[in-house]
Structure 1
């Protein structure tokens, strides 16, 4: 091909390529714009799930973490030294007040009691003889048969023997008490703990390791907890109107609360923590509360009626909290509200709503104030969400197949 024709051919080829590229670039924005129009926020009514503002009883509560403590607890120790002859209980056994727990060999204490009784009997005989002599010498002194000094000496002897009789009676009482201590009984009703002694062991009085068993009263029982000091005035005001109700949810599978009453408010605030110590008393008939256990505590101050909405309806912006209110024409309105407090799944509204108004609970992201909404059933909305996920999966599968087929065709060519 001659050189001038060759230049002309390449020039025309370059022009056709440029035209093709420009036409291709012009088509892509149009396709993108169309997709954006379908997926835009302004396309159609926004699907939402709604609820209603309604008045209901919403308890005013204070929550805290508490620890379970026995109202009465005792560490059983021996009050005499001797051989542990019998253990009458088992570990973890429920006992009643006065039940026999342990027996210590009583023979040494029986002998001590007999000896004290013998000394007392001897002192009584001597006292009786001395009193007889006093009566006789009183008559002789009146007749001046004996001197007054002799009479006073015999009288002093009688008084001394009276004191000795009193001392012997005290020793007999002590010996009887020591003998009673050989039978160790439960000082209160409760459940026994771990035992570190065995039959045949020598137990001693005032021994640091001489603990026989501990007994904790399980019903009724305390739950001790602390609340911040700023609640002091509120607690005092509501407690003045009557006894406050306390509920406890012990940890576990069964989350049914135990009900009790607030029975103790400490007379001082702990300066190190800034908390006020409180105690609630619980019957604990089912024994779900156990000493040393931690549990969630709620003190109910009052049970007023208030306007509430589901807490999921509350939205937050830089201007404050708000909800979407749906009119009778199914048009959304942004309404600022004042939320006083949250209780479980409800938000207590102090200002901004009226009883019976319809509000958006789910789907707020697609709502535009002044635009209509499409009210969906909560159950149907949940199913649609699941179906949408499945549809996305199928769409991705088809796209993948479409991409794979041309590749396979090119490989075959």
Structure 2
């Protein structure tokens, strides 16, 4: 076996510079043959990708154009009919709107609050003398008048006490009478110098002593009679009797803890309610002028008027935790529609603005110009934006203190389709049937919040 390193083995000469060896020439030839084929394969792929990119660009351009058109389009303009069978472009179509006339009238300023009916007097009837309760003359829930007979404590012990006091008075009056007669005799004897003056003076002191005793006896008689009168229990105030707390036959004591019955005055009756502190200056100004501010009480749902009364009292301090002030109104409550501790909605009429411009609440718009209305120009039937300053409102109409004048026409429906200078086809809102509303008395005040387990 020949050694690979045998010098006798003929060696192949190295390739000349610039010439390719057989090992490298074959791959180069293969690359030269496959390059055109790869280019022919990649060209359709590049054309497909480019087509999809162009298609997406067209779609995005269409979407962007549509968004721009709807966001920045001018006032609605459509081809108006030029006659039978065709349209004539360039003529703006009038937008249908409902209008109302700015009125000049009186606007009541009402404040709404939450209130609780409160009795002007609530009295617990208690016995003023102790003894057995022999009679109860009232029925539960009965309307009683001041002085009406309610119950009776056994009067016999107190009648005996009166008779005993009167007997003691008679006895002491007799002693006083005798002492006075003796005093007259002693004075005569002193003038005759028959007795010492000291004896007369002693008799004068005895007379004064008996006079004091008689005076005390008279007081005792009056006290006994007073206690006897206390056995007959009467109503201290007019009102409605509550539930009977003690039955006949029970022994009652002075100042009985639970009392016999509770009487609550319901005619007249009051309502305690609260209002925000910001409203107090206007109320106090009216009260200083001597005005009698009317107050209306509504039921919990504000569907029914319960009673009308007058504001009587404003509390002397503000509740810092709520920023409100307590007020009291008084009601005759002739039909007893107000019941103690009943929850009511309260409406206070503070003042009435006379002869002010008013528009329906629906006419007022809010946007970039602030608060504004659309005013219809009668000459060319176009709508223009008019900034306004608002005043008081009753929930249906709003006072305009600045911006419009009585007699002008404002848009109350269809304002969302309008722009400055847009053509309108106006319909008078007064000619349309009024939509039913739950109440025309003003905005509904809030209801009493539900108590938490607050």
Superposition TM-score tier, normalisation by shorter sequence: 0.7 to 0.9
CA deviation map 1:248-277 (0-9, x unaligned): 223156522632222223344455554443
Give the secondary-structure state (helix, strand or coil) at the position aligned to 1:60.
strand
Alignment of 1:229-308 (within 5 A): 229-252=277-300, 254-256=303-305, 258-270=307-319, 273-305=322-354, 306-308=356-358
Task: For residue 51 of structure 1, report the CA deviation from its aligned partner.
Answer: 1.6
Counterpart of 1:83 in structure 2 is 132
Task: For residue 318 of structure 1, report the CA deviation from its aligned partner.
Answer: 3.2
Counterpart of 1:325 in structure 2 is 375
**Which protein is richer in helix relative to its size?**
1
Task: For residue 72 of structure 1, report the CA deviation from its aligned partner.
Answer: 2.8
Task: For residue 111 of structure 1, report the CA deviation from its aligned partner.
Answer: 1.0
Please say if 1:45 is aligned against 2:94.
Answer: yes
Q: 1:200 to 1:171 in 2, by over 3 A?
A: same
Q: Is the 8 A contact 2:295 2:311 kept in 1?
A: no
Aligned-partner Cα distance in 2 for 1:330–1:92? 69
Please say if 1:211 is aligned against 2:259.
Answer: yes
Q: 1:131 to 1:210 in 2, by over 3 A?
A: farther
* Aligned alpha-carbon RMSD (Å): 3.2
Counterpart of 1:6 in structure 2 is none
Please say if 1:311 is aligned against 2:361.
Answer: yes
Give the secondary-structure state (helix, strand or coil) at the position aligned to 1:83.
strand
Q: Is the 8 A contact 1:243 1:261 kept in 2?
A: no
| TM-score, with length taken from structure 1 | 0.77
Task: For residue 203 of structure 1, report the CA deviation from its aligned partner.
Answer: 1.4
Aligned-partner Cα distance in 1 for 2:344–2:273? 9
Q: Is the 8 A contact 1:190 1:217 kept in 2?
A: yes
Task: For residue 113 of structure 1, report the CA deviation from its aligned partner.
Answer: 0.8
Counterpart of 2:210 in structure 1 is 161
Query: Which of 233, 244, 257 is matched with 1:195 structurally?
Result: 244
Task: For residue 382 of structure 1, report the CA deviation from its aligned partner.
Answer: 10
Aligned-partner Cα distance in 2 for 1:309–1:152? 100
Structure 1 gap ranges (5+)? 1-10, 384-413
Task: For residue 359 of structure 1, report the CA deviation from its aligned partner.
Answer: 1.3
Q: Is the 8 A contact 2:309 2:329 kept in 1?
A: yes
Q: 1:341 to 1:141 in 2, by over 3 A?
A: same
| TM-score, with length taken from structure 2 | 0.71
Counterpart of 2:12 in structure 1 is none
Aligned-partner Cα distance in 2 for 1:347–1:151? 98
Aligned-partner Cα distance in 1 for 2:396–2:312? 30
Task: For residue 377 of structure 1, report the CA deviation from its aligned partner.
Answer: 6.9
Aligned-partner Cα distance in 2 for 1:259–1:332? 45
Q: 1:272 to 1:134 in 2, by over 3 A?
A: farther
Give the secondary-structure state (helix, strand or coil) at the position aligned to 1:211.
coil
Q: Is the 8 A contact 1:130 1:158 kept in 2?
A: yes
Q: Is the 8 A contact 2:120 2:270 kept in 1?
A: yes
Counterpart of 2:160 in structure 1 is 111
Aligned-partner Cα distance in 2 for 1:295–1:115? 58
Structure 2 gap ranges (5+)? 1-43, 79-92, 436-454
Please say if 1:186 is aligned against 2:235.
Answer: yes
Please say if 1:222 is aligned against 2:270.
Answer: yes
Please say if 1:66 is aligned against 2:126.
Answer: no
Q: Is the 8 A contact 1:250 1:288 kept in 2?
A: no
Aligned-partner Cα distance in 1 for 2:269–2:165? 45
Task: For residue 367 of structure 1, report the CA deviation from its aligned partner.
Answer: 1.9
Aligned-partner Cα distance in 2 for 1:50–1:139? 115
Aligned-partner Cα distance in 2 for 1:124–1:203? 36
Aligned residues: 358
Aligned-partner Cα distance in 1 for 2:159–2:124? 27
Q: Is the 8 A contact 1:95 1:191 kept in 2?
A: yes
